[in-house]
Every structure is written in C-alpha cells, then in structure tokens.
Chain A
Amino acid sequence: MTKDKVCVMPDTAISADKLTKRFGKFTAVNEVTFEIPYGSIFGFLGANGAGKSTTIRMLCGILEPTSGNGQVGGFDVQTQPEQIKTVIGYVSQRFSLYSDLNVAENLLFYGQIYGLSGTPLTSRIREVLALTGLDPFRQRLAGDLSGGMKQKLAIANAILHNPKIIFLDEPTAGLDPLSRRAIWELLYQLAEGGTSLFVTTHYMEEAERCNTIAFISDGKLLKIGQPSDLRQQLSDQILEVACQPLMKASRLFLKLEGVRGVTVYGTTLNLNVTDQKAVEERVKTSAGKEGIVISSIKSIPASLEDVFSDLDKGRKADA
C-alpha cells in the first residue's frame, strides 16, 4: 500500500497543475496544466513573450511560481527546487557556457558541479563528446565554435549527469537547416533512451517531430495534443489558391464571408475557411470582378502553422 503511494504515476516526468507566474500586474503564465511522460518529446510552441521561457524557468526551479503546482522528476516545484536541479538537464535559449573555456574544460567544470569526478567523469565526457560528434573539437574554445556546435556542446553539457528530463529552450533558434536536423537527431536518440524532452520552438516543422505539442499564447495554454490530431481538427478547412497578383488577392479574399484568415506563401495563398464549397465560389466570383487570375484552387491538409495561426486568431477574436 505505502509503496504504491510513494511511486504515484512513475511514468510522469513533468506535470504542471494550474501553474501561474505573475510579475506585478502582468501575468506571464496563466494556469497552465499538462503532463509529460518519460521517453517523449514535448513541444512547447508560442510566439516570443508568450510565456515559454517563464514556464521552463518555473519547472527548473529557478523561478518561484506565484500559484499552482508542478512536479518534475517526482519533486515539487514550489518546495524542492534544489532536488529538481539534480535530475534535470537544461539548455538555455542563449549560449550560456564559458566562451573562454574549451569544450573539454566546460564539460569538466559542469561535471564536477554535478558531483562527478575522476574516471567516471572522464569516461562520461568521452561518451557525450562521441554522441554529439564534438570529439575533434575538445580543445577548441567554446566561443570559437559554430552556432550548431555550440548547441551540441550545450546539449552534451546538459546530459553529462544522465538526467532523465531535459529542458531545451529554443535549441535550434538561428541555426541552419543541416544543424537543426543534426540537433533533432540527437534529441530523438535521447528520447529513445527513455529521456523526457521539453522543447520550445518557433519552427512548426520541428513541432511535427514532437510526440505532444502545446500552444501557449499570452500565458494561456490554448491547445495540447498530438500533432496529427491537431491538424485533423482543421481538416477540410484550408484552401490553397494560386493566383496573380498575390497581395491584391490576399486583401480581397480576407474581406470575403467565411474566410477566417489568409496566409501568403511564395506563389499561393492559404485561406483558412469555415465552409469550403461556399467560399470557393465566392473566391472565384470576386476574383473575376477584380481581374485576378486564378490558376488553381484546391483543398489541402492543415499544417501546424495553420493550426497555430487559427488558434491565435480565434483567441484574438474572443478577446
């Protein structure tokens, strides 16, 4: 009996229950609730200033929540921030290792801070260097590494003490596509090993790679679910229109009844619509009147970006 009570929900790595942070009158994070199991990648999406970093900081135990509860690795966010720190890894938004220390020195330093030493530490450093492919650069100053390698070092550093939970605050921001892919491959490897990853990102195609995603806007959790489910909810609601001239058409279509939003892509417009058939007719007639040439018009599956812009528009309409 008692044993069962001690290990309540052993599968849950991170949980938040109405987690809230206020700075004066400003509410940065507003009653956010979610649960993340071990071995999964949780994508936390939102615009700049939506409350992503504040949520991470509360969960990492470096920012005290105003109200609500949170559990990370079985420890309480409010009362056990120091215990949380022993079981998590953290990759910050801004590179925060020492630029004037080389790769090996940075890892050695943080390893010692986490209580590792001697042979276990040196062999663990060798392991993470091999895993991240940084081994050839072990003598290079961290400040001289490229952006992608800096992030790899930050990740190598975050996994030194074998944490089962890792928080990554925009780990791929500002990186080229190849480096971003390399970073994600690394994250998958970690998740396969049973580690739970909490990742914030701006990139929608990266969100597709997560097991679960959550949208946060102005501190509120708008939606949470699997990427495919979220896209499903918006099915038959996206109309792709290839037409000329693009900007004029975009302004025109936005005024039409049943069009919730228009997103401009290279040579096409994505219309977020409520009733596909009716809107398609309206688009064709108004285009004819205004001299806009439509080369194709078709229904396409929703992308996460569509989901996000739809959610954001819906929220703004409510307000």
Chain B
Amino acid sequence: MRSIWAITYKEFIHIARDRRTLVLLILMPMMQLMIYGYGINTDVKHLPTYVYDQDRSYLSRRLINAFTQSDYFTVKAQVTSLSQAYSALDRGFAQSALVIPPDFSANLIKKKTAQVQLLIDGTDSTPANVALDASQAIVNAFMQNERLIPVQVFPIDFRPRLWYNPDLKSTYFMLPGLIGLVLQFLVPMITASAIVREKERGNIEQLLVTPIKPYELILGKIIPYIAIGVIIATSIITTMHYLFVVPIKGSIVTLFFLTLVYLIVCLGIGLWASTVADNQQQASQIVMFFAMPSILLSGFIFPTGSMPVWVRDISYFIPMTYFLKIVRGIILKGMGFFDLVDQVWPLLLMAFLVIVFSIRRFSKRMA
C-alpha cells in the first residue's frame, strides 16, 4: 500500500515538472471544446446567398425577405446578371443563388404560374439537403401568407415533434460526446507515455530490482491519471453546461460513475500500449491507431445505425460506442443507470479484461 502511494506521489511530481504535458492536458480539452462548441457547427444557418431579382417588385422583395427571415439564408449580394450569380457559386462566394424572373409578380397577379429558381451548391450534401428542405418550406409558407393558394385542410393532422434537442443544436449532440473523445485521446496517451518513459530512460531497470509487486507499480502509476481523467471530464462537463448551456437532465452521480468506468478502459488501452511499445513515440502511434477508428465508427459524428452491418459489428468492440450512448443518454435524455445496462456491462467487461491482461503482461522479469 505504501509502495502504491510512493509511486503515485512520484508520478505527481513528474506531471507537475513536465510543463509540456501539463499544457497539453489543459489546452487540448479546452481547444476541442471551443472547436466543437463554436467552430464545427453542423447546424445549417445563414447560407451565403446571391440574389438576382429581375422583377424588383413588392412581391419579389417579400419573397427575398421570407428567405432571409428564416435564418437559413443570408443575402450576400444583389447581382444584375445570371453569370454573376453562377460565378459566385463557382468560386464559393455563395452557396445558393435565388433567381427571380422579370415576370414574377405580373404572373402571380394574373393568377398564372410564376417561376422562381434556387440554385444550391450540392458539393457538401448536408447543408444542401437542409437548404433544399428549408427553401421548400419557405416558399410554401410564402404562398399561404400571401394568399396565393387557398388555405388547405389536410385529412391527417401530422404533428412531428423533436424531443431531447428541440432546437436541433449540434452542441447538444457534440459536446457530451466530446467527453468520450477527449478521454479516449488523452488518457491512453499520457498513461502509455508515463510507463514507457520509465523504459526509455532506464528507470525500469532500477525498479525491477526492488521488491515492488507488479500490481503495486501499475496501480500507483494509474491513480494519478485516473485523477487527471476525472479533472478533464469535470472541466468539460462544467464548460459544456455553463458556457454552452447544454442542460444535464440525468443524475450527475451516475454520469461520474460511468465516466470512471470508461476512464479505466482508456487507461487499460494505454497500459496495453505501453507493454507493446519501446518508446514514447511508438506508444503514441499505437494510441492514435486506435483513436482514429473510435472517432469515426463510434457514432461520435456519424450515427452507427446508418453504417453497413460489418462496420457496425466493428463498432461493438469500440468502448467509445457504449460511452457515447451513456453520456448522451444521461445528459440529453435523463436516462438512469438501469436504462443504460446494455451499455454498462460491455464497458465493465472491457475495463476488467484490459486491466487483468495488462497486469499479466507486465512481468518483473526482463525478456
């Protein structure tokens, strides 16, 4: 027990004196938070739009207004020729162009079909889809508001409702997931390099000739990084809640407990990497090798449901897959421990296996 404490204390001294790692530990989570919180916004809003209004009438202005008021489109420029609009799309100044022909209001007044064209840059499918749906809704509403079509009565009163994230804010979706992402990146990295560093600098040779037991060494080295992991998780949760105002619907205790389980899995990955790697560079390469598929396949950005079956099967072996369901479940849906049992037991199993495996691999004899 005293040996474990001695190792832990020594490890904290290492951390405190290693400025570079310390900066990484503080900066990386905050940077990620800012990037995902402010920068990466999958909400499609304020699409830069060029308008070629040849009609210049009261109605055409009303239509343009309807587009801008929706928040989906922002008029960047009024142009006076089609080629100007085309070149704006080509060169990326605009992502959509609204073309209103000269006979627009004349036709409407004559109760004839008037034409309006919206050109959308379809290179990136997500905003293009959103713009497409939004434009249709805007034009429908415009027609009703301006009484261009009779008020319709539908046989089905269809009322879709968005639950858990009614405003479809991407921060609600991304930021809880970020806890999983940052822990998956940082924790194995710092754990692996802390252990590999002892190999690299020859410290392990001195430790091996002491009567310390492998489990004491591993626990002693792990404890500081569990603490750091908890601090990182806490700082992300706090910033997410207070700065980005993501409500936490579920129990904070459950959230912390399950984060701890996930942390142990992450530590285990680092431990395992350290038994394979000979130097810190190799260790971080191994960690990166596993972190990349975790980000892409766990459902952090792309939902696992829409993946081909064999890819989804891979995602079952990724701890982050389960943890993402847990954090999003607790934070956004207010799920409790027992609602999440299907996610909890695979994580617990992984934590157990990876720790036992690593301690077994860590032998006090040299090869």
Question: A residues near B, CB below 8 A?
Answer: 57, 60-64, 81-82, 85-86, 88, 90, 92, 94-101, 105, 108-110, 112-115, 117, 157
Question: Which residues of A have CB within 8 Å of B18?
Answer: 100
Contact A113 B212 (CB under 8 A): yes
Do A81 and B206 form a contact, CB below 8 Å, given A98-B14, A112-B5? Answer: no
Contact A90 B209 (CB under 8 A): yes
A64 to B366, CA, bound (A): 8
Contact A94 B202 (CB under 8 A): yes
Question: Which residues of B have CB within 8 Å of A97?
Answer: 203, 206
Question: B residues near A, CB below 8 A?
Answer: 2-3, 5-7, 9-10, 13-14, 17-18, 201-212, 364-366
Partner among B2, B7, B17, B365 whose Cβ is within 8 Å of the Cβ of A62: B365
- Residue among B14, B201, B206, B364 having the largest count of chain A Cβ atoms under 10 Å: B206
Do A98 and B10 form a contact, CB below 8 Å, given A82-B211, A90-B209, A92-B206? Answer: yes
Question: Which residues of B have CB within 8 Å of A105?
Answer: 10, 13
Top 6 A-B residue pairs of the complex, sorted by shortest distance between their CB atoms: A112-B6, A96-B206, A96-B202, A90-B209, A85-B211, A62-B208
Question: Which residues of B have CB within 8 Å of A108?
Answer: 6
Partner among A62, A88, A110, A157 whose Cβ is within 8 Å of the Cβ of B364: A62
Contact A96 B210 (CB under 8 A): no
Q: Chain B residue with minimal CB distance to A141?
A: B17
Question: Which residues of B have CB within 8 Å of A117?
Answer: 2
Contact A113 B205 (CB under 8 A): no
Partner among B2, B9, B204, B364 whose Cβ is within 8 Å of the Cβ of A115: B2
A114 to B202, CA, bound (A): 19
Question: Which residues of B have CB within 8 Å of A95?
Answer: 202
What is the interface of chain B mostly: helix, strand, loop, or mixed? helix
Q: Can you pick out 19 interface pairs between chain A and chain B where the beta carbons lie within 8 Å of each other? A: A57-B366, A62-B205, A62-B209, A81-B365, A90-B209, A92-B202, A94-B205, A96-B203, A96-B206, A100-B14, A101-B13, A109-B6, A109-B10, A112-B2, A113-B207, A113-B210, A113-B212, A115-B2, A157-B206
Question: Which residues of A have CB within 8 Å of B14?
Answer: 98, 100-101
Contact B6 A90 (CB under 8 A): no
Question: Which residues of B have CB within 8 Å of A85?
Answer: 209-211
A-B contact count (CB 8 A): 75
Question: Which residues of B have CB within 8 Å of A101?
Answer: 10, 13-14
Do A99 and B211 form a contact, CB below 8 Å, given A112-B5, A117-B2? Answer: no
Question: Which residues of A have CB within 8 Å of B9?
Answer: 109
Contact B205 A92 (CB under 8 A): yes
Contact B211 A96 (CB under 8 A): no
Contact A61 B2 (CB under 8 A): no
A243 to B202, CA, bound (A): 48
Contact A113 B365 (CB under 8 A): no
- Residue among B9, B205, B209, B366 having the largest count of chain A Cβ atoms under 10 Å: B209
Partner among B2, B211, B365 whose Cβ is within 8 Å of the Cβ of A64: B365
A236 to B365, CA, bound (A): 48
A88 to B204, CA, bound (A): 16
Question: Which residues of A have CB within 8 Å of B204?
Answer: 96
Question: Which residues of B have CB within 8 Å of A90?
Answer: 206, 209
Question: Which residues of B have CB within 8 Å of A81?
Answer: 364-365
Do A114 and B201 form a contact, CB below 8 Å, given A63-B365, A97-B206, A101-B13? Answer: no
Q: Chain A residue with minimal CB distance to B14?
A: A100
Minimum C-beta distance from B190 to chain A (A): 15
Contact A113 B3 (CB under 8 A): yes
Do A60 and B365 form a contact, CB below 8 Å, given A96-B202, A100-B13, A115-B2? Answer: no
Minimum C-beta distance from B10 to chain A (A): 5
Known: A98-B10, A110-B206, A110-B210. 19 other contacts (CB 8 A): A60-B209, A62-B365, A63-B366, A81-B365, A90-B206, A90-B209, A92-B205, A94-B205, A95-B202, A96-B206, A98-B201, A100-B13, A100-B18, A105-B10, A113-B7, A113-B211, A114-B210, A115-B2, A117-B2
Question: Which residues of A have CB within 8 Å of B365?
Answer: 62-64, 81
A57 to B10, CA, bound (A): 26
Minimum C-beta distance from A305 to chain B (A): 30
Q: Chain A residue with minimal CB distance to B364?
A: A62
Q: Chain A residue with minimal CB distance to B204?
A: A96
A89 to B124, CA, bound (A): 66
Minimum C-beta distance from B303 to chain A (A): 45
Question: Which residues of A have CB within 8 Å of B205?
Answer: 62, 92, 94, 96
A86 to B213, CA, bound (A): 12
Question: Which residues of A have CB within 8 Å of B208?
Answer: 62
A81 to B213, CA, bound (A): 12
Do A96 and B201 form a contact, CB below 8 Å, given A82-B211, A85-B211, A113-B210? Answer: yes
Q: Chain B residue with minimal CB distance to A95?
A: B202
A143 to B131, CA, bound (A): 62
A32 to B18, CA, bound (A): 44
Q: Chain B residue with minimal CB distance to A109?
A: B10
Minimum C-beta distance from A65 to chain B (A): 11
A99 to B3, CA, bound (A): 20
Question: Which residues of A have CB within 8 Å of B212?
Answer: 113
Q: Chain B residue with minimal CB distance to A108?
A: B6
